[in-house]
Amino acid sequence: MIYKKIINRQEKISVIGLGYVGLPIAVAFSKKAEVIGYDLNKKKIELYKSGIDPTKEVGDEAVASCSVDFTYDETRLRDARFHIIAVPTPINKDHTPDLTPIKSASTILGRNLTKGSVVVYESTVYPGVTEDICVPILEKESGLKCGYDFKVGYSPERINPGDKEHRLETIVKVVSGMDDETLDTIARVYELVVEAGVYRAESIKVAEAAKVIENAQRDINIAFMNELSIIFNKMGIDTKAVLKASGTKWNFIKFTPGLVGGHCIGVDPYYLTYKAQEIGYHSQIILAGRKINDEMGKYVAENTVKCMIKARKKINGSIVAIFGVTFKENCPDVRNTRVVDIISELEEYGVQVQVVDPIADKEDLWREYRINTCDLDKVNKVDAIIFAVPHKEFKSISLENIKKMYNSKHTYTLDAITEVAATYENGMQNDNCVLIDVKGMFDRKKAEQMGFIYWRL
């Protein structure tokens, strides 16, 4: 039995795709078994071999001390018989699934697959991809027959990038297999590292569906919060205050408005709606939520411009600093970040944008969006500041220090000079500094008392 051979280190596990999901899996299994970590990115492999973790998911020390055999040589996959594929599943510009990475990984593994192997997919897909798309590729490339020469299963990743509490080991793992024997093998292998235990799904399609709706559910709930934010802003009501009050009820679901990006929540719902449309059903709720969330970056930019006009700033040629460009806080991942929507919209108005983000992956940021970052100490003489991502590095910045970053030269109209000159709070003049606090990091009352024109979702 392959499970016994794995725990006796007679057979190896391979992890294909060593990104934010694959790396933690490889490192975790290396504590219990022999692991081959494969990625076609040679530069990434060299970093791992040097003990450097660019994903920040497990840390440099864990990478340096682990026993994972990192390689970009695909033929090394022939040395393993339990294979885990953990590659991204992005979307195309038209919001259709881009299965290129998972097809490519299947092709690479297929031509190196040996008899008696078990292949487990972790990538988020719509129901049917594993069996209807990936298996034929494995069969074609290997010349082997699924069900006889090799088996397949699916175990959706649930890793939350940047989250040090909810990790691979602490989250219940959904597992599935093409038959009972395969399911048992996959479950027992994952139980080696998943302390929270595993849940055995009835079928591969059930497991695929379960994963895709997890993020669709979050997406819809956040869309509801974003729509509430739009409504309450029009009514002059603070959304955060409303949610705080509503949250006192025991069964109120605590979501907050914000930008929805990344490789999961902002992508997975499109996989489900694509499959739904393929079988003749046009999604209504899911796509409505997606439309709201996809437009929030533009909405933030538009309200930034409105606040700048209120502050009597000249828009064309003004400078706006944006703090945070990753898709979520405390994570270097910039894939599908919706902060870029704010940037592009502001640039349409002729605004010069400075981006500050000490933890963003600078190479990915430039390669994907042609955006460079600047250091915090270089931010000065700006006309507005947007805190888009609440990194922990930003939470120590005081409103007093933020105020020093603004341009002291303003373009006030004559009838506003008396009003501006007469406004003092805590010994500081009201310079009409525009502060856009997307996630509500700062105290609204204090900011307004200090003379900021303050706005948040």
What is the rounded CA–CA span in Å between residue 446 and residue 4?
Answer: 62
Q: For residue 262, what pLDDT band results from cuts at 50, 70 and 90?
A: confident
Residue type, 66: C
pLDDT value, residue 261: 84
Average pLDDT (361-376) is 92
Average pLDDT (284-289) is 94
Q: Do domains 2-211 and 295-455 have the same CATH topology?
A: yes
What is the rounded CA–CA span in Å between residue 341 and residue 259?
Answer: 10
Q: For residue 217, what pLDDT band results from cuts at 50, 70 and 90?
A: very high
Query: Are the beta carbons of 175 and 199 closer than 8 angstroms?
Result: yes
* Active site positions, annotated: 264
Q: For residue 434, what pLDDT band results from cuts at 50, 70 and 90?
A: very high
Q: For residue 182, what pLDDT band results from cuts at 50, 70 and 90?
A: very high
pLDDT value, residue 410: 47
Backbone dihedral angles phi then psi of residue 97, each to the nearest 5 degrees: -60, 135
CATH of 2-211, one of 3.50.40.10, 1.10.4030.10, 3.40.50.720, 3.40.50.150: 3.40.50.720
Average pLDDT (166-172) is 85
User: What are 5-55's pLDDT values in tens digits?
Assistant: 999 999 999 999 999 899 999 999 999 999 999 999 999 999 999 999 988
Q: For residue 427, what pLDDT band results from cuts at 50, 70 and 90?
A: very low
> Global pTM?
0.87
Query: Are the beta carbons of 45 and 76 closer than 8 angstroms?
Result: no
What is the rounded CA–CA span in Å between residue 104 and residue 81?
Answer: 19
Three-class SS of the chain: CHHHHHHCCCCEEEEECCCCCHHHHHHHHCCCCEEEEECCCHHHHHHHHCCCCCCCCCCHHHHHHCCCEEECCHHHHHHEEEEEECCCCCECCCCCECCHHHHHHHHHHHCCCCCCEEEEECCCCCCCHHHHHHHHHHHHHHCCCECCCEEEEECCCCCCCCCCCCCHHHCCEEEEECCHHHHHHHHHHHCCCCCCCEEECCCHHHHHHHHHHHHHHHHHHHHHHHHHHHHHHHHCCCHHHHHHHHCCCCCCCCCCCCCCCCCCCCCHHHHHHHHHHHCCCCCCHHHHHHHHHHCHHHHHHHHHHHHHHHCCCCCCCCEEEEECCCCCCCCCCCCCCCHHHHHHHHHHCCCEEEEECCCCCHHHHHHHHCCCCCCHHHCCCECEEEECCCCCCCCCCCHHHHHCCECCCCCCCHHHHHHHHCCEECCEECCCEEEEECCCCCCHHHHHHCCEEEECC
Percent of the chain with pLDDT over 70: 94
Every domain of the chain and the residues it spans = 2-211, 295-455
Q: For residue 165, what pLDDT band results from cuts at 50, 70 and 90?
A: confident
User: What are 443-457's pLDDT values in tens digits?
Assistant: 999 999 999 999 999
User: What are 380-412's pLDDT values in tens digits?
Assistant: 899 999 999 999 999 999 999 999 999 865 444
What is the rounded CA–CA span in Å between residue 183 and residue 391?
Answer: 40
Query: Are the beta carbons of 436 and 455 closer than 8 angstroms?
Result: yes
- What separation in angstroms does the CA of 386 have from each of 301, 303, 444? 9, 11, 14
pLDDT value, residue 163: 67
Quote the CATH superfamily of domain 295-455.
NAD(P)-binding Rossmann-like Domain (3.40.50.720)
Q: For residue 125, what pLDDT band results from cuts at 50, 70 and 90?
A: very high
Percent of the chain with pLDDT over 90: 83
pLDDT value, residue 431: 59
Average pLDDT (178-187) is 97
* Class of residue 72 by CB neighbours under 10 A (exposed 0-12, middle 13-18, buried 19+): middle
| Alpha carbon distance, N-terminus to C-terminus of the chain | 55
Q: Is the pLDDT of residue 425 over 90?
A: no
Q: For residue 264, what pLDDT band results from cuts at 50, 70 and 90?
A: confident
Backbone dihedral angles phi then psi of residue 319, each to the nearest 5 degrees: -120, 125
Average pLDDT (308-314) is 92
